Each structure stands twice: as C-alpha cells, then as structure tokens.
C-alpha cells in the first residue's frame, strides 16, 4: 500500500496542475471506486462537475483536494485513497489508461485542458466527495470527516513529539503495531516501519512500555530520516502498481536495508536479514542488530 512518501509525491505532482482548475466533466467507469462516497455515481458526478479545485492536501496516507465553496454552505473536498494500487495520472485530453476507474476532465487557467485518470488495478482505492470539518487536534484546520480520526504524521510541522512519546509509553502493545496505528502516528506502513526499526536497532516486537524515552526519540528521528530519504527518491516502487502523476516509478526500493531483503546480509553487521510473519504480512529485521531488550 502506498505510504506517506508515495502519497506526498502524488500530492506535490498534482498541486501545480489542479490548483485553480475547473472540473468540466466526470466519467465513472467503475462504481466500486466510489465505495467511500455517500451516494450513487450520479451524485458524485453532479456534485463535482463545475467545481474548482483548490490546492491538494494530505494527512498521512490520505489525500484530498478542497473544492470551491460557491455551491454549498459546508466546505467539501474530493478525497482520494490510493488503497493498494491506486494511481492518479495527469494526462492530455483523450488519453486512456488501462484500468481507469474514474476520469475527470479539468480546465486549468494556465495549462488549459487536462485529464485526471484514477487508475486502480485491485480496486481497493477510492474517490469520494466529503465534507470538511474541524480537525480534533487543531481547531483552525479542517480535514475531511473520513480523515478526522487520522493522527498527524512525523513530517507535519505541527506534529507534537512530546504527546507522541507520552501516548506511545501508555500503549500496551509492541512497537511496530504502534507505528502502524494511524490514530497514533500516520503515514507509516510496513515498508517504512521495518526500515525505521532497522535504522534505530529496535526489534519490531519490543513492548512499547519498555522503550526508554531516549530510544523512542531516536526511533522517531530515524522514522523522519527514512521518510525524507524516500521522498527524495520519489517513493518505493516494486512494480507498476505505484506510479507518480506522470506515470513514473519511485527508486527508494534500491535503498532498502531491511524490507524485502530476507536472506541478504545486513548492511550493518553482515548477518542475514530474516523475515517473520506479522499481522498477515511480514516483518524484516536483523536478529543480531535488533534484539528485544
């Protein structure tokens, strides 16, 4: 599933092309991609056509494009969830992509007509129009109601480190489960959890209550470093299921130290990286460098 770096790459790619653009037409080719929209496809089309996009925003893995407020009293946004294989591709008008589920034609005041193709192979992603509501952590910020339960991510300027450490210590769980808890900290999935834990030398099954404040601070620092490196390399792509808005892959997969590296030598100590079953997925780590303390 695309994590924070991949979604941020998509958001940044969309920003210059959609900000200020007007939606001229909407075509829903597969209603399964509206599973999170409260209404039929006709409602989605009617409410989106003619609206103007504002600057795209993101929290964790959630991306949304606020809509102008001319028609409604309650602010709304187009919410995009990429799921496992969702892509938002910027195309020239009339360009078709295989597996396009929703097609949005827009007119940008500077770039002219453009096309947004929502492509999704596995159809776990979605688009929806949702109302914007006050964020529970800051009253001067609004987020879609579908995103209200999502915590801030570590790269958010308003992320509260002290609050995170306090909540982490109070949790009765293990550290990787905590990192994947989007109500505690958002944007981190399996790939970047494994990479951050490897960098911090913390075992994925370390109980959160036993993690010292110093080690928790070091882990958070590594999380930020890993996410920033992944952003710089355009995210992680193992196949064509994740692409940026121009249809290009990210290259962070070439920089992975732990995730997907089972059987290969640990870059730090040379012993083999191992993979263990974890929450219907896998955890990748060095059994020598990362021990439960």
2 belongs to the catalytic site? yes
Instruction: Give the model's pLDDT for residue 238.
Output: 45
Question: How confident is the model over 161-206, as pLDDT tens digits?
Answer: 999 999 999 999 999 999 999 999 999 999 999 999 999 999 999 9
Catalytic residue, chosen from 51, 57, 58, 61, is 61
- CB-count exposure of residue 166 (10 Å: 0-12, 13-18, 19+): exposed
Catalytic residue, chosen from 163, 264, 271, 281, is 281
CA distance linking residue 80 with residue 65, whole number of Å: 8
CATH 3.20.190.10 range(s) for the chain read: 4-147
Q: Name the strand (E) or helix (H) holding 128.
A: strand 126-135
Instruction: Give the model's pLDDT for residue 169.
Output: 94
CA angle 234, 261, 193 (to 5 degrees): 60
Instruction: Give the model's pLDDT for residue 243.
Output: 57
CA distance linking residue 105 with residue 293, whole number of Å: 55
Q: Match 């079953």 to its residue by tokens.
A: 277
Collapsing DSSP states into helix, strand and coil, what is residue 274?
Answer: strand
Beta partners for residue 23, in sequence order: 106
Instruction: Give the model's pLDDT for residue 206.
Output: 97
Identify the DSSP state of 140: E
CA distance linking residue 102 with residue 96, whole number of Å: 11
281 belongs to the catalytic site? yes
CB atoms within 10 A of CB 4: 25
3 belongs to the catalytic site? yes
Query: For the structural domain made of 4-147, what CATH number should be given?
Result: 3.20.190.10
**272, 263 Cβ separation under 8 angstroms:** yes
Q: What are the residues whose beta carbons fall under 8 Å from the beta carbon of 42, sequence distance 6 or more?
A: none
Q: Match 């949702």 to its residue by tokens.
A: 130
161-286 maps to CATH 1.10.8.50: yes
Pairing of strands 100-108, 22-28: antiparallel
CA distance linking residue 104 with residue 237, whole number of Å: 25
Question: Which residues in 173-183 are b (16+ Cβ under 10 Å) and which e?
Answer: ebbbbbbbbbe
**116, 76 Cβ separation under 8 angstroms:** no
The dihedral through the CA atoms of 20, 24, 30, 32 has a sign that is positive
Low-confidence ranges of the chain (pLDDT < 70): 1, 71, 138-139, 236-253
Instruction: Give the model's pLDDT for residue 225.
Output: 95
Q: What are the residues whose beta carbons fall under 8 Å from the beta carbon of 224, sequence distance 6 or more?
A: 154, 155
CB atoms within 10 A of CB 271: 12
Instruction: Give the model's pLDDT for residue 61.
Output: 87
Instruction: Give the model's pLDDT for residue 233.
Output: 83
CA distance linking residue 250 with residue 243, whole number of Å: 7
Instruction: Give the model's pLDDT for residue 187.
Output: 93
CATH 1.10.8.50 range(s) for the chain read: 161-286
Collapsing DSSP states into helix, strand and coil, what is residue 125?
Answer: coil
For 70-118, give the secondary structure using H, E and C: CCCCCCEEEEEECCCCEEEEEECCCCCCCCEEEEEEEEECCCEEEEEEE
pTM: 0.89
């Amino acid at each position: 599933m695309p994590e924070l770096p991949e979604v941020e790459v998509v958001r940044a790619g969309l920003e210059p092309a959609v900000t200020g653009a007007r939606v001229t037409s909407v075509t829903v080719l597969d209603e399964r991609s509206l599973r999170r929209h409260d209404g039929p496809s006709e409602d989605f089309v009617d409410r989106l056509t003619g609206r103007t996009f504002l600057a795209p925003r993101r929290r964790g893995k959630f991306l949304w494009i606020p809509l102008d407020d001319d028609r409604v009293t309650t602010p709304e946004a187009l919410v995009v969830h990429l799921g496992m294989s969702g892509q938002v591709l910027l195309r020239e008008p009339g360009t078709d992509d295989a597996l396009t589920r929703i097609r949005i034609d827009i007119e940008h005041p500077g770039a002219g007509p453009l096309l947004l193709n929502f492509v999704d192979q596995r159809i776990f992603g979605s688009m929806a129009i949702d109302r914007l509501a006050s964020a529970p952590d800051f009253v001067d910020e609004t987020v879609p109601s579908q995103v209200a339960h999502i915590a801030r991510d570590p790269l958010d300027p308003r992320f509260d480190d002290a609050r995170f450490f306090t909540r982490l210590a109070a949790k009765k769980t293990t550290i990787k489960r905590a990192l994947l808890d989007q109500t505690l900290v958002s944007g981190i999935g399996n790939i970047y959890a494994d990479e951050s834990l490897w960098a911090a030398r913390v075992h994925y099954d370390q109980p959160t209550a036993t993690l010292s404040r110093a080690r928790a601070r070091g882990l958070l620092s590594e999380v930020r470093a890993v996410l920033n490196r992944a952003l710089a390399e355009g995210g992680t792509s193992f196949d064509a299921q994740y692409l940026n808005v121009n249809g290009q892959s990210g290259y962070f997969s070439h920089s992975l130290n732990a995730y997907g590296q089972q059987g290969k030598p640990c870059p730090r100590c040379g012993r083999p990286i191992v993979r263990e079953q974890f929450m219907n997925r896998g955890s990748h780590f060095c059994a020598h460098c990362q021990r439960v303390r």
